[in-house]
């Protein structure tokens, strides 16, 4: 595996739009060609080489290509957009739309990532060691096509509306999330290891959300179905017990919302409804 490094050489003051910093645009190009890739810094068109020191050697096969971005690129948007292979390692914080619409390959971020991480992604794997912003694996604003496949693993916390309009794949958050995880979700799995602020699964019509920590309340449009001993993320088994809710009733949805029983005493009242004949 050959590595091309991009070391940021200045402090960015305005957002940089860089959809072509991805393996597909870089594979088979000489270093000079890579340095000449056009990107936008604010309203100015610049070359990649103006803000990055590019080192390494030309790589002709996407499978062999490893891109290493060094430094704080939290103002650089769309790294890894549409990538179909290879891998990207970011040593620092990443910006918005990291891995937007990516098809395959992998991205690893050692710091935090911005909002829209893996938005509308189709496959591949993203791992973030720190926290992320909002709309992880979500659809673009207004669109009803969220993440369709692949895997996103976040070791820290995530923001609002993760997995919005999600249609497949898995999002695992080892920290907490804010409001509306799995909004409009159709399929796929969201796992939140710690707490969720509220309103999980609003308007979901399918798929699975597992909350392993505390959630203060469940939306009134969800109905409790049973108490389960465990829940599954793909092949991995998480020991419960879990309350299993089905909803969102407003959408005639069949989404499944697992919430850990232990620690969620505020939801104990739901158990009264379990034996009720409807």
Partner 1 sequence: MRFLTSELLIKNGIIFDPINNVDGEKMDISIKDDKIVDKVSKGARVLDASGKIVMPGGVDIHSHIAGSKVNSGRILRPEDHEKDVEYKTKIKRSGVGHSIPSTFTTGYRYSTLGYTTVIEAAAPPLKARHTHEELNEIPILDKACYTLLGNNWFIMELLKENKLEECAAYVSWMLEATRGYAIKIVDPGGVEAWGWGNFITNLEDEVPNFSITPREIVVGLCKANKMLNLPHAIHVHTNNLGVPGNYQTTIETMDSVSNLYSGDKPIIHITHTQFTGFKGSSWLNLSSGAPEIADYVNKHKHVTLDLGQIAFGDTTTMTADGPFQFFLHKLSGNKWVNCDVEAETGSGIVPFTYRRSNYVNAIQWGIGLELALLVKDPWRIFMTTDHPNGAPFTKYPLVISWLVSKKAREKALAKINSSAKRRLDIPGMDREYTLSELAIITRAATAKALGLKNKGHLGIGADADVAIYDFNPSSMDPSKHYPKLKRAFGNAHYTIKGGKIISKKKEILDCVDGRTYWAKSRISKDLESSILENLKDMFEDSYTVRMSNYVIREDYLKIPEKIEVTAEV
Q: Is position 44 an interface residue for partner 1 (rule: CB under 8 A)? A: no
Binder of partner 1 out of 140, 193, 194, 250 (CB under 8 A): 140
Contact 86, 105 (CB under 8 A): yes
Residues 161-190 as b/e (b if ≥16 CB within 10 A, e otherwise) read bbbbbbbbbbbbbbbbbbbbbbbbbbbbbb
Q: Residue 214, Cβ neighbours under 10 Å: how many?
A: 18
Segment near partner 1 (CB under 8 A), from 6-14, 142-150, 213-221, 235-243?
142-150
CB of 139 to partner 1, least distance (A): 8
Quick one: 40 or 233, whose CB is closer to partner 1?
40
Quick one: 57 or 252, whose CB is closer to partner 1?
252
CB of 50 to partner 1, least distance (A): 18
Would you state the structure tokens that stand for residue 211, as one six-digit string?
């909350």
Quick one: 183 or 267, whose CB is closer to partner 1?
183
Q: How far apart are CA 272 and CA 224, in angstroms?
A: 10
Contact 67, 48 (CB under 8 A): no
CA-closest candidate to residue 104, choices 63, 144, 45, 160: 63
For 68, list phi and psi in degrees, rounded to 5: -120, 120
Binder of partner 1 out of 142, 252, 272, 276 (CB under 8 A): 142
CA-closest candidate to residue 128, choices 153, 161, 93, 158: 153
CB of 115 to partner 1, least distance (A): 15
CB of 260 to partner 1, least distance (A): 34
Q: Is position 141 an interface residue for partner 1 (rule: CB under 8 A)? A: yes
SS3 207: coil
CB of 59 to partner 1, least distance (A): 29
CB of 77 to partner 1, least distance (A): 13
Quick one: 141 or 235, whose CB is closer to partner 1?
141
Q: How far is CA 248 from the centre of its chain?
A: 22
CB of 145 to partner 1, least distance (A): 8
Give Rg (Cα) of the chain: 20
Q: Is position 13 an interface residue for partner 1 (rule: CB under 8 A)? A: no
Binder of partner 1 out of 10, 44, 143, 237 (CB under 8 A): 143
Site residues for partner 1 per CB under 8 A: 43, 139-144
């Amino acid at each position: 595996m050959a590595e091309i490094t991009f070391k940021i050489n200045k402090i960015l003051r305005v957002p940089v739009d860089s959809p072509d910093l991805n393996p597909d645009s870089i594979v088979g190009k000489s270093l000079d060609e890579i340095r000449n890739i056009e990107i936008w810094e604010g309203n100015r068109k610049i070359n990649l080489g103006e803000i990055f020191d590019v080192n390494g050697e030309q790589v002709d096969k996407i499978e062999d290509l490893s891109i290493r971005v060094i430094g704080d690129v939290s103002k650089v948007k769309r790294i890894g957009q549409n990538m179909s292979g290879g891998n990207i390692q970011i040593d620092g914080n990443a910006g918005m739309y990291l891995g937007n619409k990516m098809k395959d390959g992998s991205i690893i971020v050692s710091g935090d990532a911005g909002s829209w991480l893996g938005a509308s992604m189709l496959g591949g794997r993203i791992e973030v060691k720190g926290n992320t912003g909002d709309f992880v694996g979500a659809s673009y604003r207004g669109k009803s096509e969220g993440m369709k496949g692949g895997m996103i693993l976040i070791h820290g916390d995530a923001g609002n509306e993760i997995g919005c309009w999600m249609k497949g794949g898995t999002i695992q958050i080892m920290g907490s999330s804010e409001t509306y995880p799995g909004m409009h979700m159709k399929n796929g799995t969201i796992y939140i290891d710690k707490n969720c602020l509220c309103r999980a699964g609003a308007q979901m019509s399918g798929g699975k959300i597992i909350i392993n920590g505390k959630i203060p309340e469940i939306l009134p449009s969800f109905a409790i179905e049973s108490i389960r001993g465990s829940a599954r993320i793909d092949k991995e088994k998480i020991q419960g017990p879990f309350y299993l809710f089905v909803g969102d009733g407003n959408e005639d949805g069949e989404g499944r919302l697992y919430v850990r029983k232990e620690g969620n005493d505020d939801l104990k009242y739901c158990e009264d409804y379990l034996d009720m004949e409807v």
